[in-house]
Amino acid sequence: MSKVLRAGPPTYGHWRLLVQFLAFAAGLLAALAAPASARALRLVVLGDSLTAGFGVPPGKAFPDQLEAALRARGWHVDVVNAGVSGDTTEDGLARYEWAVPADADALIVELGANDMLRGLPPDETRQALMAIIEKAKAKRLPTLIAGMRAAPNLGAEYDRAFDAIYPALAEAEGAILYPFFLEGVAGDATLNQPDGLHPTAAGVAVVTNRILPYVEDLLRRANS
């Protein structure tokens, strides 16, 4: 007569295997449900010495302080320092292709101070900045324009023409405008290096704190 085999009660080994399987399944489901891109947002700052960090200690340049401030506010972001001291807007345009990587998610353009200091025609500055913004738009790269203002010794006509470049471009190109990059710092000897042109690390901190809400708006655009 055949013998019917009946399963006994689950043993400890069975329970352990079941728990391991459930843990594996939960991990797999979590991985499948995760966002397609879990990497940090890559924010590139294309600029001149004000971006490069002329005269400030390592780790205290604008991109460094901006990254730290954003991360402190919960942003998973890497800020790329694409600043070169002495660059004009035309120089920034010339190196755009290799300075702004293909995997960039957002762009800050901080250029124009050297154009102004050299007295270059405002229309040339405007055209170069527009070309940079157009390149970013072609890649669907949200852009923030950090504005600059002309020094008063260049004359009222030059001042009007130069100062009008940034708001006009931002409006025409749909970019975010931060009206004056050195707001709260320019003219304050306690926040500038002896040359009167470049902020100290403390001055960069002021710039960072003031521009931060605009940059967060930029990153929201990148996320959307």
Active-site residue, selected from the candidate residues 2, 103, 195, 224: 195
Structure letter (DSSP) for residue 172: H
Catalytic residue check, 37: no
Nearest to 48 by CA among 103, 93, 105, 1: 93
Contact 92, 111 (CB under 8 A): yes
Cβ atoms of 147 and 182 within 8 Å: the answer is: no
Cβ atoms within 10 A of the Cβ of 202, count? 14
CB atoms within 10 A of CB 40: 14
Rounded (10°) CA dihedral 183, 71, 101, 141? -70
Instruction: Read off the tokens for 200.
Output: 């100290």
Question: Which one, of 166, 178, 146, 45, lies nearest residue 100 by Cα?
Answer: 45
Q: Which of 49, 64, 105, 115 is catalytic?
A: 49
**10 Å Cβ neighbour count for 44?**
24
Q: Is 14 annotated in the active site?
A: no
Say which of 64, 87, 163, 198 is annotated catalytic: 198
The region that residue 7 occupies, defined by phi over 0 for left and psi between -120 and 50 for alpha, beta otherwise, is: beta
**Of the candidates 213, 189, 210, which has an alpha carbon nearest to the alpha carbon of residue 199?**
189
Residue with the two structure tokens 């050195």: 182
Active site positions, annotated: 49, 195, 198
